[in-house]
Amino acid sequence: MQRVEKVRDLQTLADAERLAGRRIALVPTMGALHPGHLSLVELARRRADRVWVSIFVNPTQFDDPGDLARYPRTLPEDLEACRAAGVDLVFAPTAAQMYPEGAQTVVEVLELTQPLCGRTRPGHFRGVTTVVAKLLLAAKPHLAVFGEKDFQQLAVIRRMVRDLHVDVEIVSAPIVREDDGLAMSSRNANLDREARIQARALARALDAAQEAWAGGERDARALLARVRAEIGKAPRAEIDYAELRDPESLASAPERLAGPTLLALAVFLRPPAGCEGAGVRLIDNRVLRP
């Protein structure tokens, strides 16, 4: 397995692979890899000749400096996990490589970034689209794989690729969950034992909505009431948002639901009483389908 740190070196390798007729799949990550990330690698392996993983904690997508400082960094373990998964190349650049001195260019998708996470995390998606555009230009992949847990991010990246005519296929992979239903996330490592137990409320809320939907419930307010009631059973859980949206446009769902509907959640697990801090923010989602 190769490890590359410089953008120019990666571009040279990409040119050689393309000239040889081999398909490149890129799996962009911020490290702290878990089985959810490795499921993206497995999907990439089925779709391409070469699987490349990028590991870069992107500073421009963090609106809170404390959140950036707390984000787990486990590069040695990540490299070993990639090697065991049969990854061909890991791109692990420095911030200076991705953002050269004096850098002043950004990529921004406007409307899709306004609701949900975009409403409470100013500048987050501008950082995401800018760094993903840089990674696509550096790796020159035929396809890039993203997980559906970050549903809004996936929608934003697809829109960016369409709008800019980027010659890459965006492939989505389903959410991978722990045995108790919690969506796998690098942020789960920051949960204390009690918060980890209470975090199960997100999956229970999605299940409650799914059960109501399967039973014929189509009233948006009633569905969201069930979701909020389930999360409310976790004393340290604080809802950032719980919303029903169109899965394509991310527009607000009508009061009476008809077609496929995205249920998107963002929840803070507050620190224990007497402890300072913002807590751990988790997201999850499910598309309710007729």
At 89, list the tokens. 């190349």
How far apart are the C-alpha atoms of 238 and 63, rounded to whole Å?
19
Q: Which residues are catalytic?
A: 37
Q: Domain 186-288 has what CATH class?
A: alpha beta
| Ranges of each domain in the chain | 2-173, 186-288
Note the pLDDT of residue 273: 83
Per-residue pLDDT of the chain (290 residues; tens, 9 = 90+): 999 999 999 999 999 999 999 999 999 999 999 999 999 999 999 999 999 999 999 999 998 898 999 999 999 999 999 999 999 999 999 999 999 999 999 999 999 999 999 999 999 999 999 999 999 999 999 999 999 999 999 999 999 999 999 999 999 999 999 999 999 999 999 999 999 999 999 999 999 999 999 999 999 999 999 999 999 999 999 999 999 999 999 999 999 999 999 999 999 999 998 787 778 999 999 999 98
- The span from the CA of 276 to the CA of 165, in Å, is 46
HEC per residue, the chain: CEEECCHHHHHHHHHHHHHCCCCEEEEEECCCCCHHHHHHHHHHHHHCCEEEEEECCCHHHCCCHHHHHHCCCCHHHHHHHHHHCCCCEEECCCHHHHCCCCCCCCCCCCHHHCCCHHHHCCCHHHHHHHHHHHHHHHHCCCEEEEECCCHHHHHHHHHHHHHHCCCCEEEEECCCECCCCCECCHHHHHCCHHHHHHCHHHHHHHHHHHHHHHCCCCEHHHHHHHHHHHHCCCCCEEEEEEEEECCCCCCECCCECCCCEEEEEEEEECCCCCCCCCCEEEEEEEEECC
Phi, psi of 284 (to 5 degrees): -160, 165
Pick the CATH number of 2-173 from 3.30.499.10, 3.20.80.10, 3.40.50.620, 1.10.290.10: 3.40.50.620
pLDDT at residue number 42: 98
Same fold, 2-173 and 186-288: no
Residue 210: predicted pLDDT: 97
pLDDT at 277: 73
